[in-house]
Structure 1
Amino acid sequence: MSEGPLDDLDRRIVHSLQQNARKTSASEIAEQAGVSASTVRNRIQNLEAAGILTGYRPEVNYEAASYQLQTLIVCTAPVPEREVLAKKALEVPGVVAVREIMTGTENVHVEAIGSDGDDLSRIGRDLDEIGLEVVDEDLIRNEYECAFHGFDVKDV
């Protein structure tokens, strides 16, 4: 059963890559799906061209790399400037991710990495200088992710 622009094979490919893109080959996906590896490679290229697959990023254990502090900095931005300020926040050294939130006043969430409290204080000041009001800061202990269940086609 297809939902949206993706058919079952596309969803199977996306789900497999979300689980572990680095260790999942087109041949493995093809074998599970009963199609050729070249079909899977072509589908991956099509998913990339359509902007559905937008990148393959490594997961980094910052603590193991001697960056002890991973924090979520919650900010407020004027709605008309939110997108511009969110993109500008990516230029602040130590910032690794920015999310625009569509509702509420705490509408920009910034993930930042630092080796000590001085790093995090500087990042907060830098965000303030570009026009984001820092509302809250939360240290992140662990983060867990999984593949989106809507792409799982095992039961189809």
Structure 2
Amino acid sequence: MSIRDLDSLDRRILYSLQAEARHTSSNDIAASLDVSASTVRNRIQRLESDGIIRGYHADVDYEDAGYQLFTLIVCTAPIPEREELAAAAADVPGVVEVQEVMTGEANVLVRAIGVDGDDLSRIGEELDELGLRVSDEDLIRNTHRRPYSRFEE
């Protein structure tokens, strides 16, 4: 399924799940959209099997969890190796998220948690050993998310 195959109901279901997947049941979504719960469950199963919904993840406040060193590590990978290196970076202990960016420089963003400065140094060294060039490291104070509003149409 591609984005142009999503109808209004699919988009509204996606919006509801992005807003609060954990505490939103198919019955809740169905009631707000005036459809049956089985329709919502079937749509969600189809969105999952088509790879549009790729998972459900906990949104962790790392600072409140006692992990003060939640870090954004900005890296550069050679374009032909970007996808492979990004996938390998996700396997480095302490790395919690890796994003590939469609630019020549700063094209791999790594979010990692270190227990101390030495741990962050280890993570940076392991990324370097993979072939990623680390260009910047920033401590993350907070992340703010919201559902993509086009899905609400």
TM-score range, shorter chain: over 0.9
**Matched AA of 2:73:** I
What CA deviation, in whole Å up to 9, does each residue of 1:26-57 have, x standing for no partner? 11111111111011100100111111111000
Query: What pairs up with 1:61-100 in 2 under 5 angstroms?
Result: 61-100=61-100
Q: TM-score, normalised by structure 1?
A: 0.93
Give the share of equivalent positions with the same residue, in percent.
62
Equivalents in 2 of 1:119, 1:66: separation in Å? 15
SS across alignment from 1:73: strand
Contact 2:15 / 2:151 at 8 angstroms: preserved in 1? yes
Cα-Cα RMSD: 1.0
Match of 1:22 in 2: 22
SS across alignment from 1:57: coil
**Matched AA of 1:85:** L
What CA deviation, in whole Å up to 9, does each residue of 1:85-135 have, x standing for no partner? 110001110001111111131111110011211111110011011111100
Query: What pairs up with 1:70-149 in 2 under 5 angstroms?
Result: 70-149=70-149
Q: TM-score, normalised by structure 2?
A: 0.95
- How many residues of Structure 1 are paired with residues of Structure 2 in the alignment? 151
Match of 1:31 in 2: 31
Equivalents in 1 of 2:8, 2:142: separation in Å? 33
Contact 1:76 / 1:105 at 8 angstroms: preserved in 2? yes
Contact 1:66 / 1:115 at 8 angstroms: preserved in 2? no
**Matched AA of 2:35:** V
Contact 2:79 / 2:104 at 8 angstroms: preserved in 1? no
Equivalents in 1 of 2:150, 2:85: separation in Å? 32
Structure 1 spans left out of the alignment, 5+ residues: none
SS across alignment from 2:4: coil
Cα drift, residue 64 of structure 1: 2.1
Structure 2 spans left out of the alignment, 5+ residues: none
Contact 1:90 / 1:97 at 8 angstroms: preserved in 2? yes
